[in-house]
Amino acid sequence: MQKCISIFFEAGYSTSASANQNLDFFKGVIMTDRTRTGIEIIEVSLLIGILGDALLRATPWGLNFFLWIAALVGAMTLLTYRRRNEIWSLQSFALHGALIFFSAMYMWQDSDELRVFDFFAIVAIFSVLMLPALKIPVQFAGIAHYAFGAFWSGINAALSPFFLLGEDIKWNAYAKSGWTKYLAAVFRGAIIAAPIIFVFGALFVAADAAFEGIVKRAFDIPTDAVVVDMLWIGVIFWLVAGYLRGAIHGFPINGEVVAAVQVVPENPTSISVTQPTAPKESNSESTKAKTPPKTKIDWRDFDNTLLPKTFTVGVVETSVILGAMNLLFGLFVALQLPYLFGGMELVQSTPDFKLAEYARRGFGELVMVSFLVLPVLLTGHWLLRKDSKANTKVFGILAGIQIGLLFVIMISAAQRLLLLTGNLGYGLTTTRFYPMAFMSFLALVFVWFCLTVLRGERRQFAWGSLWLGLFTLASLHVFNPDDFIARTNIRLMHEGRKFDAHYNRSLSNDAIPALLEGFSSMSFENQCIVGNGLSGIREKFENENFDLRSWNYSRSTARQLLNDNLAAIDLSSCPVEAGL
């Protein structure tokens, strides 16, 4: 009770204060809560920045990246629970778990491609986690919302610290409470003590050589190292603070929060932001008479009613567009069917038709076709007029035919890849493997498209597609692409195909176990090429100072295998050019 009275006294309030004065008072209290949130964001971001400087400067990333992301996820979780627990959900928990998982993958495989995909997956998840603060349920958001989440995350990371430092935190009010009220006194004391310490320290240095050595070693700090450290900490602090501010508050201004306060609660020490109360009945009728109703567009759940009717499509336009596409796709599929069922024999027996031309020319183009069909169908479905059930029915039939033809085209693309990398082909590479993996992901997405969009559940399509992508990427880590590529090429070598030693030795450390296992079966020339390449990798390991922050399972295993096996390999008779 005394605390409540003191709060009223300090704010200049009395029992006869007007309603407007009470409203101003509670606005100030709300700003104080926002100030506390801002201070917590600054404190957490500064710690994350210092941790990032201590961990992330060691490359290549491994254990350090996992620890840093885990710390950031922990900070986000803590802030959300303390300040915006209403936006926390099971979906948020799953996304935070995915962040931990893909950051942990930096400790497992060493493939450059997988690490790039992991990084973009982490960025995508952070983008989706921005949506709950914007009052958009992530499980019902569309692809456009996800894209906006990525855009909004970048905007907040770059600009939100200005709002955080300039608007959210009321420095004058905050400095009167907590530990910050002692900062000014500490600062004044430090200013006064500095010259005194300098004078006495100089006398002690002049009096004793040992003390002089201690002082010199203590202050012998490279200036460039300090600048780099401060730059790392500053950049990470700025980006993290901006992102966290956006993920907690959503919008850069807090006018909506203040405007939500209409009624002053009886207990001023327990304040919560409530929805605006309805006006009195006596005023509601006059308000309706004076202010005509306005239609409000909610960008969080928009459809094609925002567009003029000219820009939407009906049953005729849908039939023409998808019908023409189905005709084109059907013609192409009709030409591919003989090759699909005829196999390698038909390809080889066709006059003036070479295997390389058939496989190389078609695979990449068909993967691109598979990719482009998805945005065409999604855009067409969004532009479809909903005034008639016939529009939806016709679109569903034609889109189903389109997807069926597309699956045949995907099978044709897969066949071309198998021919290109099979027993009579040219071996497997990352540029052939990853497009195939991407097309497999697209096949899953099109199945999900049929189960959601074509059944009237479009709002669930993006959420399911996101997790299909994350699942596909996680499966690639288990599959270990570089190891699979090396083993496939060694198997083809055993079957009489040419082995590209220069390419296979350029794969990541994930392929080193396979190369060492197949080393004895390689030709002398290939042994020289691969052996010199592996020797160079071991020499690089030896010249590098081991840093636990960069620890990675694949690199650690490769290091140990090279130390255990290369000593028994004699490369003295190999020509010099074999190492190039």
Greater confidence (300 vs 10) lies with 300
- Nearest-10 Cα torsion for 206, 209, 215, 217: 150
428-438 per-position pLDDT tens digit = 999 989 999 99
Least trusted range by pLDDT, from 67-76, 394-403, 492-501: 492-501
**What are 426-464's pLDDT values in tens digits?**
889 999 899 999 999 999 999 999 999 999 999 999 999
pLDDT at residue 294 greater than cutoff 60: no
Q: How many CB atoms lie within 10 A of CB 561?
A: 18
More confident residue, 92 or 387: 92
Report the phi/psi class of residue 352: left, alpha or beta, with left for phi > 0 and alpha for psi in -120 to 50. left
Give per-residue pLDDT as tens, 301-324: 677 777 788 888 888 999 999 999
pLDDT tens string 16-54 = 344 444 444 444 444 467 888 998 999 999 999 999 999
Q: Cis omega before residue 308 (within 30°)?
A: no
Within 10 A of 270 (CB to CB), how many other CB atoms are there? 8
Residues with Cβ within 8 Å of residue 261, at least 6 apart in sequence: 23, 26, 27, 30, 273, 274
Assign residue 427 a region: left if phi > 0, alpha if psi is -120 to 50, beta otherwise?
left
Reported as half-sphere exposure (CB side, CA atoms, 13 A), residue 579 has a value of 11
How confident is the model over 77-106, as a mean pLDDT?
Answer: 94
How many C-beta neighbours within 10 Å does residue 233 have? 19
415 and 361 Cβ atoms separated by less than 8 Å: no
The dihedral formed by the CA atoms of 418, 421, 422 and 423, expressed in degrees to the nearest 10: 160
Q: What is the pTM of this model?
A: 0.80
Share of the chain above pLDDT 70, in %: 77
For tokens 């060492």, name the residue: 516
Q: Where are the alpha helices (DSSP H) in 386-511?
A: 389-421, 430-452, 461-479, 481-494, 501-505
Q: Is the pLDDT of residue 277 over 70?
A: no
C-alpha 129: how far from chain center: 10
Mean pLDDT of the chain: 81
Nearest to 311 by CA among 303, 301, 323, 322: 303
Q: Decide if pLDDT at 578 tops 60.
A: no
Domains of the chain, residue spans: 15-259, 306-475, 484-579
According to the model, what pLDDT value does residue 179 have?
A: 56
Using the structure block, give the residue that is written with the tokens 């005194």: 196
Among 506, 364, 493, smallest CA distance to 426 is for 493
Q: Which residues contact 371 (CB under 8 A, 6 or more apart)?
A: 438, 442
Give pLDDT tens digits for 346-386.
555 554 445 555 556 667 888 899 999 999 999 999 999 88
Q: How confident is the model at residue 266 (pLDDT cuts 50, 70, 90)?
A: very low
Residue 32: how many other CB atoms lie within 10 Å: 15
Three-class secondary structure assignment of 302-367: CCHHHCCHHHCECHHHHHHHHHHHHHHHHHHHHHHHHHHHHHHHHHHHCCCCCHHHHHHHHHHHHH
| DSSP-derived 3-state class of residue 188 | helix
Per-residue confidence (pLDDT) for residue 355, from 0 to 100: 53
* d(C-alpha 452, C-alpha 446), whole Å: 10
Over residues 245-266, the mean pLDDT reads 54
The β-bridge partners of 384 are 313
